C-alpha cells in the first residue's frame, strides 16, 4: 500500500479510445479528443453532467500548442468543470491515471475523467523528443527516442543470434496481437517464418535497432473515467479497481542505459517493481498477474524490461519470448492490444495501457481478449530519461481475500 491507507477506493467505470492512425487529417485536436471522450461516456452510460473534473495530458512541443487544455475544452467537455493538466513525458498517460486515482481517493471529486492525446502528425516527433535534452550538454548527442544501446547490451549478454531473434520474435508477436485490435495503428501481418528475413532486411536506425522494431508515431486519444467506490458500485456492472501505483524518475545523465556489464546502472523499472510488489506483498509477480500492458517503445527494450518488471534472473525473460509465453494465450500475455509498437499517440499511449489492462479484466477486449479469466493486471508507462510508472488493477475490490492464497505472497 501507499504511505497510509487509501482514503477511499477508486474504480474505472468508463473507457474510450479513437482508432489510432498515422494521419487523422479528418479531425483537429479537440475533435479527435471528443471521439475518445464520447466513447468513454457512452461506455460508462454517463453524460458530461456527471463528470466533476477533467485531467488533461500530453506534450506541448509535439504539436506546439501552449497549455492545450484551454483550446481542447471544446473536445474534453471541461467547460464549467474543474480541470487540471499534469504531464511527465512519455509516462504522461499513466501519470494522469495516477492523478485521477489520487483526486478521487482524496474525496475532492467523485468522478474524474483522464484525457490523453497526441497528434504526432502535426509536429516532428523525433525533433520534439530530442528537444527534451539539456541544450548545453546532451542535445547535440540525442537522437530522439532512438537508441541502439539496449540492442548492444542484449547482444553482449546473450550473443548476437539469440538476442536478435528474441527481439524480432517479440516484434512479430506484437504484430499478431495488433492484428486482433480494431483500434491499433499498425499490423503488417508478419509471420514467424519471416523472422530471419526481417533481421536481415529491415533498415537499421541506430546500431542494431531496426526500423521494424521501433514504435510508430500515431494520432489518437484515450479517455478513462474514474469514480469513488460508492459511485462505481452504483454505476458500473463490471468495475475495475485501482490497487496501487508508483512513479520513479531518474536524473538526466547520459549513462542512463548502462554500457558495461561490470558497471550495472540501477534501472528505474526494476526499482519501481521492487518497491510496488514489496508494499503489496507480491512475491512472484509472474505468477500473480494475469496480463501486463507494457509501454514497449521498441522490441529490444521490451525484451529486456520483462526481466526488470517481473524480477526475473539470467535468461528467464528471453525464454518467455522464445517459448511464445508472452502471446495472448501464453503464460503471461504481454500487450494483447499490440502495445506501443502497434500504436503510439504519445500523450495517450500510457493511458491506453491502463485502458487495455482494464478491458482485459472486464472481459471486454473483443478479439484480443485473453482466453482465460483475468483478475490481476499490471500496466506500465515509460518516458523521460528512463522514467517508470506502474499501476496495478484488480477485478475484485477485496483482492487479497478473493485470491485463494497459494500464488499470492501475502502469507508472510
Partner 1 sequence: MGKRVAICAVAQVKNVPAYRQMRFQNMLLECFESIMEQTKVTFDLDKGIRNIVTCSDDVFDARTISNNGVTDVVGAHFRGEEKMAQESINGLGYAMASILSGHDDVILFMGHCKESQTESRRMCTNLAFDPFYCRPLGMDFQNVDALQARAYMEKSKVTDEHLATIVVRSRKNASRDPFARENRLVDEKEVMNSPMLADPIRQLHYYPVTDWAYGMLLCCEERVKEFTANPVWITGYGSCMDSYFIGDKDLASNFSLKNAAQRTFARAGIRDPRKDIQLFELCDHAAYQLPLWAEGIGIADESKGGAWIDEGGPDSYNVNLSGGQLNGNPLLLGGAARAIECFLQLRGEAGKRQVKGAKRALAHGTYGAAGQHQAVVIMEI
- Sites of contact with partner 1 (CB under 8 A): 2-7, 28, 54, 57, 59-62, 64-71, 73-74, 78-89, 95, 98-99, 101-108, 128-129, 131-132, 134-135, 245-252, 266, 268, 271, 275, 383-385
Nearer to partner 1, 65 or 312 (CB): 65
- Nearest approach, Cβ of residue 336 and partner 1 (Å): 28
Direct distance between the N- and C-terminal alpha carbons of the chain, in angstroms, rounded to an integer: 16
The single residue listed with the C-alpha cell 498477474 is 289
Q: Which is nearer to partner 1, 164 or 269 (CB)?
A: 269
Minimum distance from CB of 388 to partner 1 (Å)? 10
> What is the layout of strands, in order, in the sheet containing 111-119?
10-17, 219-228, 111-119, 53-57
Other residues' Cβ atoms within 10 Å of the Cβ of residue 289: 21
CA 46 to chain centre: 25
Smaller CB separation from partner 1, 170 or 241 = 241
The alpha-carbon radius of gyration of the chain (Å, integer) is 20
Burial readout 185-211 (b: 16 or more C-beta within 10 A, e: otherwise): bbbeebeeebeeebbeebeebeebbbe
Q: Which is nearer to partner 1, 73 or 360 (CB)?
A: 73
Q: How far is the CB of 123 from partner 1 (least distance, A)?
A: 10
Residue with smaller CB distance to partner 1, 208 or 244:
244
Is residue 390 classed as helix, strand or coil in its secondary structure? strand
DSSP codes, 259-315: --TTSPPPPHHHHHHHHHHHHTT-S-HHHH-SEEE---SBHHHHHHHHHHHTT--TT
Q: How far is the CB of 252 from partner 1 (least distance, A)?
A: 6
DSSP 8-state class, residue 188: -
CA distance linking residue 360 with residue 386, whole number of Å = 27
138 vs 188 by CB, closer to partner 1: 138
Task: Tell the smallest beta-carbon distance from residue 83 to partner 1 (Å).
Answer: 4
Separation in Å, CA 260 to CA 75, 86, 141, 347: 48, 36, 19, 32
User: Are the C-beta atoms of 333 and 326 separated by less than 8 Å?
Assistant: yes
Provide the minimum distance between the beta carbon of 326 and partner 1 in the complex, in angstroms, as a whole number: 28
Query: Residue 7's CB: how many other CB atoms inside 10 A?
Result: 12
Q: How far is the CB of 228 from partner 1 (least distance, A)?
A: 11
Backbone phi, psi, residue 206, to 5°: -140, 125
Closest approach of partner 1 to the CB of residue 78, in Å: 4
Q: Which residue lies nearer to partner 1 by CB, 60 or 403?
A: 60
Q: Are 296 and 174 in contact (CB under 8 A)?
A: yes
Amino acid at each position: 500500500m501507499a504511505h497510509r491507507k487509501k482514503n477511499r477506493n477508486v474504480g474505472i467505470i468508463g473507457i474510450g479510445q479513437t482508432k489510432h492512425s498515422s494521419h487523422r487529417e479528418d479531425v483537429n485536436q479537440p475533435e479527435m479528443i471528443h471521439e475518445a471522450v464520447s466513447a468513454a461516456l457512452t461506455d460508462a452510460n454517463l453524460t458530461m453532467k456527471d463528470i466533476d473534473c477533467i485531467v488533461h495530458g500530453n506534450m506541448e512541443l509535439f504539436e506546439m500548442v501552449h497549455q492545450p487544455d484551454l483550446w481542447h475544452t471544446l473536445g474534453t467537455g471541461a467547460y464549467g468543470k474543474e480541470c487540471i493538466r499534469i504531464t511527465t513525458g512519455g509516462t504522461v498517460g499513466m501519470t494522469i491515471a495516477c492523478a485521477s486515482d489520487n483526486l478521487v481517493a482524496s474525496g475532492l471529486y467523485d468522478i474524474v475523467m483522464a484525457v490523453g492525446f497526441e497528434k504526432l502528425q502535426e509536429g516532428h516527433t523525433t525533433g520534439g523528443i530530442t528537444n527534451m535534452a539539456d541544450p548545453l550538454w546532451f542535445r547535440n548527442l540525442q537522437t530522439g527516442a532512438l537508441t541502439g544501446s539496449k540492442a548492444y547490451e542484449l547482444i553482449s549478454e546473450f550473443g548476437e543470434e539469440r538476442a536478435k531473434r528474441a527481439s524480432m520474435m517479440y516484434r512479430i508477436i506484437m504484430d499478431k496481437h495488433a492484428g486482433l485490435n480494431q483500434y491499433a495503428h499498425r499490423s503488417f501481418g508478419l509471420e514467424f517464418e519471416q523472422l530471419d528475413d526481417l533481421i536481415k532486411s529491415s533498415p537499421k536506425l541506430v546500431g542494431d535497432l531496426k526500423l521494424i522494431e521501433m514504435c510508430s508515431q500515431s494520432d489518437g486519444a484515450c479517455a478513462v473515467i474514474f469514480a469513488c467506490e460508492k459511485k462505481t458500485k452504483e454505476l458500473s456492472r463490471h468495475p475495475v479497481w485501482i490497487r496501487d501505483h508508483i512513479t520513479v524518475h531518474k536524473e538526466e545523465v547520459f549513462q542512463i542505459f548502462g554500457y558495461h556489464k561490470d558497471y550495472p546502472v540501477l534501472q528505474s523499472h526494476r526499482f519501481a517493481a521492487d518497491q510496488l510488489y514489496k508494499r503489496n506483498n507480491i512475491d512472484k509477480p509472474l505468477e500473480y498477474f494475469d496480463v501486463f500492458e507494457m509501454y514497449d517503445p521498441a522490441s529490444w527494450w521490451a525484451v529486456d524490461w520483462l526481466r526488470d518488471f517481473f524480477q526475473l534472473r539470467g535468461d528467464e525473460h528471453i525464454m518467455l519470448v522464445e517459448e511464445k509465453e508472452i502471446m495472448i494465450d501464453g503464460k503471461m500475455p504481454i500487450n494483447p492490444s499490440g502495445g506501443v509498437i502497434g500504436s503510439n499517440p504519445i500523450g495517450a499511449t500510457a493511458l491506453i495501457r491502463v485502458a487495455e489492462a482494464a478491458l482485459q479484466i472486464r472481459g471486454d477486449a473483443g478479439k484480443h481478449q485473453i482466453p482465460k479469466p483475468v483478475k490481476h493486471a499490471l500496466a506500465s508507462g515509460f518516458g523521460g530519461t528512463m522514467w517508470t510508472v506502474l499501476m496495478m488493477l484488480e477485478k475484485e475490490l477485496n483482492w487479497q481475500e478473493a485470491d485463494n492464497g497459494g500464488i499470492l505472497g501475502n502469507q508472510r
